[in-house]
Structure 1
């Protein structure tokens, strides 16, 4: 079958990796699990969106691909009482609702039809199934995969829509070159932006742009904290980096009025995370405060490390408000 079909079945089909309730934290490290400083930074972003919208009576906070709900729970709990009273937190996830999640957080399998506020899609797009194409001497061919073993063979030529996407976003030149056709991800992101009546949508993910596409693709499996061969049998997470520049074009076509493509390092630093070590004099005046500050600095440093989480791409798109200053710079 095609990789797109195999991924859909392996991740979201009956007994699939996510549909049976697997949680990301058990298999790979994300910004959410690295530190609560990530939620703190996003809360600052939410406050700026709220101000730009004129502090509406209901402010939506939508977390798409919410996993165990940790991120939206942290943001909701940290919001000041005045903001929390107007906040409508919605977690979007196919897996079952975690029993410990606060009742006030809605749990849905689809985003709300209309959203006024902030949408966060943290490592969601990389799990949207897509097809793989390989260049041959006779032109591009769709790669087929045996879901039980991961063995591949070449299939038919891609459809016209995929060929057009490849031409624009991931041109293949030499036999053996491979591409992951991100058209379904562009469509998924566009559907999010269409639902945005006003506010900001942010996608955070492993990514590449047209000038930095990996020649052999990036399809990878993860299980128990380790990269494994991407066998689509439901035993592992299967992911591929996201062509965020192509998704940005999809969002613009869906009505986004402003766009920023940046890195997590730049975005989080602009939102106040520096990773700066506390002054050593604090250790003499207040050893406990020094240890706490040192821990905070270490957590921030991990989130903005350009060779790790800080290298993630951020796609930010707004409707009817300007880009928040930390994302506009």
Structure 2
């Protein structure tokens, strides 16, 4: 999975744009960035309006999230904002000049760090319970054919015992401690501020029996063959990442759904009153389009089912998220 995604000829190393292969909240609507911008404004206030406010997009793709945030932040905040895209793919030619583009995380972050559909692409191993015990699944990188390999390492087994125990032969798990470590590395870089992870997720009480490993290419799900031709992804155990973030220094935590979070941030999806169509038809059409975009972003059977893990360091969880 590491080579298939990030190797010399890996899927993301080639500069593939996520929007060409699967639909994310960022490319579904700029309303998603507007909601993040509202969150950023509250983080700025909780930090006391510092002279330098970081906003870091981890796994930035083509830079669309930061570009849209810059377009809608208040005028008094914009000059103090330091936008950084963390992405191993080359910088797109249309990326605004003021966005810093780098392949690794900054050493310190004061402000907001967003990992939107990043953790699901952090490579991991898959294991299966067989009649001979739990075995790592080995995959041929060109064909995708599988065979049982060695038993998981002690570190892997410890994570499985706590977060994803396998009970019956044929049951599979995706060992999530690399994602926990990746998330801890984000929280650990916060001097003060908020880290947000947004992803398809599951919890210990509802792990999928056969796992979630999937491939995406050209808008379709395909077999997860790790040959570099497709995105290889798996849902995230955000409950395990929560504990990792707390160990890394998070002082407050909120784990919720995208539906609830975006509604708290003002994306209701409510249809505008029909009377507006008569008094101001253009405003009615605009409001109707926004309602449709909000509805897609908060759809409980789609993007709205994403998990939102919010963890802060030295500030409380923003009231906009806790008062809903």
Same fold (TM over 0.5): yes
Shift, 1:80, TM fit: 1.9
Partner of 2:21: 27
Q: Is the 8 A contact 1:21 1:95 kept in 2?
A: yes
Q: Which residue of 2 aligns with 1:272?
A: 266
Looking at structure 1, the residues matched to 256 and 73 of structure 2 have their Cα atoms a distance apart, in angstroms, of 26
Are 1:210 and 2:207 an aligned pair? no
Distance (whole Å) between structure 1 residues aligned to residue 160 and residue 82 of structure 2: 39
- Residue 132 of structure 2 corresponds to 138
1:11 maps to 2:5: yes
1: CA distance between counterparts of 2:132 and 2:86?
A: 42
Shift of 1:138: 2.4
CA distance in 2, matches of 1:211, 1:319: 28
> In 2, Cα distance between the equivalents of 1:73 and 1:283?
32
Partner-residue secondary structure (3-state), 1:322: coil
2:242 match = 248
- SS of 1:198 mapped into structure 2: strand
1:191 maps to which of 179, 185, 205: 185
3-state secondary structure, aligned to 1:202:
strand
Q: Distance in 2 between matches of 1:256 and 1:328?
A: 17
Q: Measure, in 2, the Cα distance between the counterparts of 1:128 and 1:327.
A: 27
1:86 corresponds in structure 2 to 80
Task: Output the CA distance in 1 between the equivalents of 2:171 and 2:110.
Answer: 42
CA distance in 2, matches of 1:308, 1:207: 12
Question: What are the superposed Cα offsets for residues 64-120 of structure 1, whole Å, 9 maximum, x if unpaired?
Answer: 000000001110121122101100000000100011111110001011100000000
Match of 2:59 among 56, 65, 72: 65
Superposed CA offset, 1:170-205 (max 9, x none): 000111100000010000000000000000000000
Kindly tell me the number of residue pairs found equivalent between the two proteins: 323
The answer (yes or no) to whether the contact 1:132–1:178 under 8 Å persists in 2 is: yes
Q: Distance in 2 between matches of 1:109 and 1:226?
A: 28
Give me the whole-angstrom Cα distance separating, in 1, the residues matched to 2:223 and 2:70: 37
Q: 1:236, CA displacement in angstroms?
A: 0.4
Q: Which runs of 5+ in 1 are unaligned?
A: 1-6
Structural mapping, 1:176-187, within 5 Å: 176-187=170-181
- Show structure 1 runs of 4+ deviating over 4 A: none
CA contact (8 A) 1:316 1:327 kept: no
Report the 3-state secondary structure (helix = DSSP H, G, I; strand = E; otherwise coil) of the residue aligned with 1:158: coil
Name the SS of the counterpart of 1:89 in structure 2.
Answer: strand
Q: Given the two structures, how large is their TM-score scaled by the length of structure 2?
A: 0.99
1:137-176 correspondence to structure 2 within 5 Å: 137-176=131-170
Return the offset for 1:328. Answer: 2.8
Hey, what's the Cα distance between the residues in 2 that align with 1:148 and 1:133? Answer: 20
TM (norm. structure 1) is: 0.97
RMSD: 0.7
- For residues 310-329 of structure 1, what are the structure 2 equivalents within 5 Å? 310-329=304-323
Q: Give the drift of 1:223.
A: 0.4
Contact 1:172 1:179 in 2 (8 A): yes
Q: Is the 8 A contact 1:131 1:142 kept in 2?
A: yes
User: What is the DSSP-based 3-state SS (H/G/I as helix, E as strand, rest coil) of the residue aligned with 1:299?
Assistant: helix
1:120-152 deviation per Cα after TM superposition (whole angstroms, max 9, x unaligned): 000000000000000012221000000000000
Q: Secondary structure at the match of 2:77?
A: helix
Separation in 2, partners of 1:37, 1:312: 16
Check conservation: 1:219, 1:241, Cα contact below 8 A.
yes
User: SS of the counterpart of 1:81?
Assistant: coil
Q: Which residue of 2 aligns with 1:4?
A: none
Distance in 2 (alpha carbons) for counterparts of 1:134 and 1:273:
41
